[in-house]
Amino acid sequence: MKRASFFLACWLATASPLNAQEASSCATALKAPDRGCFSGSDVPTLASRNILCRPIYTPEREALSLEYFRLHYNPEATSIDIDPRIVVAHWTDGPTAAGALATFRPTRLGGDRPELKKGGALNVSSQFVVDRNGDIYQLMPTTCLARHVIGLNWAAIGIENAGGDPKYPLTKKQLEANIWLVQYLKAKHPRIAYLSGHFEYGGFRGTPLWHELLKNYYTSKSDPGKKFMANLRSGIKANGLELKEPPQGKRFHR
């Protein structure tokens, strides 16, 4: 079976109805008045928390996302719907969420990321950005593709944290916001089974979750740091949620 048809078969076989509160597809979510943003108040097992909506999806971004989906995951794809299975935590290296939003808002990749150019014109982004004071911003529906982690974007929801540079270490409020958000996302998308730091993503290589059609397309990462991931994992565990670490495919750059 060709890889593309194999992928499609896997996709169909694993698709399942989403939580009733979740929009059924990226396209449907984008048509909603809030452009698919969550409220943060509809999971009864969690304390309510405000999620600030800062949508960045445009028709051009949608078109470039489909191009990305076809180039990396499935040449026959007709939608940019993802199947959330993994949450990936990041840091931005910049000091503010406003700066991250300004970086992610253009639809096309800027000129300062030559290592990513062969991967298509779509700009990098993530579904969420967490500011240093713990404010959570949602940039796009959780069912839409964001370009934040090679090999896994078809299944990964990204949380970017403002900071990471030694001058701006991630804060306790960011950790608390991440703990809450991971639990919230698991409640919204019960099929989420993994929590990964970006620096750990190589562990998915060689496993069924890794779908990357471009050969040797890989960049080494250190975000969001081992300490933050250890604290995030112990934080969700203390609240009764245990998500798997990246499986032992080929583990690189740890």
The nearer residue to Zn ion, 36 or 164, going by C-beta atoms, is 164
Shortest approach of Zn ion to residue 218 CB, angstroms? 13
Contact range with Zn ion by CB under 5 A, out of 31-39, 72-80, 169-177, 221-229: 221-229
Q: How many residues bind Zn ion (CB under 5 A)?
A: 3
CA–CA dist 234, 232 (Å, integer):
6
198 binds Zn ion (CB under 5 A): yes
223 binds Zn ion (CB under 5 A): yes
The nearer residue to Zn ion, 38 or 228, going by C-beta atoms, is 228
Shortest approach of Zn ion to residue 223 CB, angstroms? 4
The nearer residue to Zn ion, 81 or 223, going by C-beta atoms, is 223
200 binds Zn ion (CB under 5 A): no
83 binds Zn ion (CB under 5 A): no
The nearer residue to Zn ion, 54 or 198, going by C-beta atoms, is 198
The nearer residue to Zn ion, 23 or 146, going by C-beta atoms, is 146
Contact range with Zn ion by CB under 5 A, out of 4-12, 23-31, 114-122, 198-206: 198-206
Shortest approach of Zn ion to residue 153 CB, angstroms? 12
Shortest approach of Zn ion to residue 47 CB, angstroms? 28
